[in-house]
């Protein structure tokens, strides 16, 4: 950590040298990181009281200018957003240029809909655009396949042997473990790793299996809400692409139209800024429908998922 950052942290009310050093060792070495924390989180990390933690966060917020922003500032931030291609020209147009950073993008589909295929494909396309970056892949269903990465890499003329070292994969075995792995991503960034993309495949698998019945619905949604908030913060603070896949269920009360609905309800729907519904089309094709976006119109496109990439129809 630089002396300039250390001096800035030393100015936080109620923070002595020991507290600052403790935070630095945990990776919280700048005011932006402090400003993005919750009082209870900062209190646990630093050992100060929650009252002191609240004052520290307010100081960090004021110092970083994390308050109201004018239109020009927001335009500059939007200009910094990166977009990762899907490999399909028509799909990229539908998404406004590709899967974008600083927000959560959710693809949901039935089994075999193609959401995991896109997880592999986007990982490769991210490394194609940013050769020195890292992709973190959290696998909750055991569906990650190195051979699929190799195929997609060959499709975009990347050496599979090189990118193997740039994709960090972890298997999540339950919701708590999944949350710990997501938090470790921020630690990796704090340690200097250039993580451009975080993939969670799938987001809701463990939540669905651990919380069964209406009696546990409230607890599940609260825990899922916290998980989504963490993912959203990581995406925004680090200008990172966060791609999550989601399972679906069938709504028996739907009499007209497609009864398929994504798991997680409004908690996932509100946190995911871009939502895409994948389904199987005719003759082995796939259909991608843009369900929700803060700035793009709804629409759908058709394509094929082939051995080495995507083919437009």
Domain range annotation of the chain: 3-64, 77-312
* % of the chain at pLDDT higher than 90: 72
Is the pLDDT score of 251 beyond 80?
no
pLDDT confidence of 255, banded at 50, 70, 90? low
Distance separating alpha carbons of residues 113 and 268, to the nearest angstrom: 19
Asked if 256 contacts 130 with a C-beta cutoff of 8 angstroms, the reply is: no
When pLDDT is averaged across residues 83-90 and rounded to a whole number, the result is: 97
Residue 10 confidence (pLDDT): 83
Distance separating alpha carbons of residues 136 and 182, to the nearest angstrom: 9
Residue 71 confidence (pLDDT): 85
Distance separating alpha carbons of residues 186 and 191, to the nearest angstrom: 9
Is the pLDDT score of 95 beyond 80?
yes
Angle at 204 between CA 107 and CA 247, to 5 degrees: 50
Structure tokens at 223: 């825990």
* % of the chain at pLDDT higher than 70: 94
Structure tokens at 166: 């740039």
When pLDDT is averaged across residues 208-226 and rounded to a whole number, the result is: 92
When pLDDT is averaged across residues 213-237 and rounded to a whole number, the result is: 93
pTM higher than 0.85, yes or no? no
More confident residue, 56 or 2: 56
Residue 68 confidence (pLDDT): 76
Range of lowest pLDDT (69-78, 161-170, 187-196, 209-218): 69-78
Distance separating alpha carbons of residues 158 and 142, to the nearest angstrom: 25
Distance separating alpha carbons of residues 299 and 292, to the nearest angstrom: 10
pLDDT confidence of 254, banded at 50, 70, 90? low
When pLDDT is averaged across residues 307-311 and rounded to a whole number, the result is: 94
Looking at domain 3-64, its CATH class is mainly alpha
pLDDT confidence of 7, banded at 50, 70, 90? very low
Is the pLDDT score of 1 beyond 50?
no
Strand segments, DSSP code E, in the chain are 83-84, 99-100, 103-109, 134-139, 167-171, 195-201, 241-246, 248-250, 260-262, 272-280, 286-292, 299-306, 309-312
pLDDT confidence of 66, banded at 50, 70, 90? low
Range of lowest pLDDT (35-39, 112-116, 242-246, 282-286): 35-39
Residue 2 confidence (pLDDT): 37
Name the CATH topology of 77-312: Rossmann fold (3.40.50)
Range of lowest pLDDT (35-49, 63-77, 156-170, 277-291): 63-77
Average pLDDT of the chain, as a whole number: 91
When pLDDT is averaged across residues 139-154 and rounded to a whole number, the result is: 97
Highest mean pLDDT among 8-22, 26-40, 248-262, 290-304: 290-304
């Amino acid at each position: 950590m630089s002396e300039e950052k250390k001096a800035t942290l030393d100015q936080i009310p109620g923070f002595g040298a020991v507290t600052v050093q403790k935070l630095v060792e945990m990776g919280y070495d700048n005011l932006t990181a402090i400003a993005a924390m919750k009082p209870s989180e900062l209190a646990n990390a630093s050992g100060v009281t929650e009252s002191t933690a609240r004052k520290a966060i307010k100081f960090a917020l004021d110092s970083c200018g994390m308050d109201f922003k004018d239109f020009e500032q927001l335009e500059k931030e939007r200009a910094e957003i990166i977009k990762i291609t899907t490999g399909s020209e028509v799909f990229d147009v539908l998404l406004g240029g590709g899967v974008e950073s600083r927000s959560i993008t959710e693809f949901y589909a039935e089994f075999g809909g193609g959401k995991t295929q896109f997880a592999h494909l986007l990982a490769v396309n991210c490394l194609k655009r940013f050769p020195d970056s890292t992709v973190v892949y959290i696998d909750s269903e055991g569906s990650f396949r190195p051979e699929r990465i190799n195929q997609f890499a060959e499709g975009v003329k990347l050496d599979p042997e090189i990118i193997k070292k740039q994709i960090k994969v972890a298997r999540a075995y339950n919701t708590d473990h999944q949350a710990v792995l997501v938090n470790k991503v921020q630690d990796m960034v704090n340690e200097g790793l250039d993580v451009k993309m975080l993939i969670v495949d799938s987001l809701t698998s463990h939540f669905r299996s651990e919380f069964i019945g209406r009696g546990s619905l409230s607890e599940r949604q609260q825990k899922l809400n916290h998980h989504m908030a963490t993912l959203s913060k990581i995406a925004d603070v680090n200008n990172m692409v966060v791609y999550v896949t989601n399972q679906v269920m069938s709504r028996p009360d739907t009499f007209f139209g497609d009864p398929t609905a994504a798991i997680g309800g409004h908690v996932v729907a509100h946190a995911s800024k871009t939502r895409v519904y994948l389904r199987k089309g005719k003759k082995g094709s796939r259909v991608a429908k843009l369900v929700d976006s803060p700035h793009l119109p709804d629409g759908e496109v058709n394509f094929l998922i082939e051995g080495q990439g995507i083919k437009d129809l």
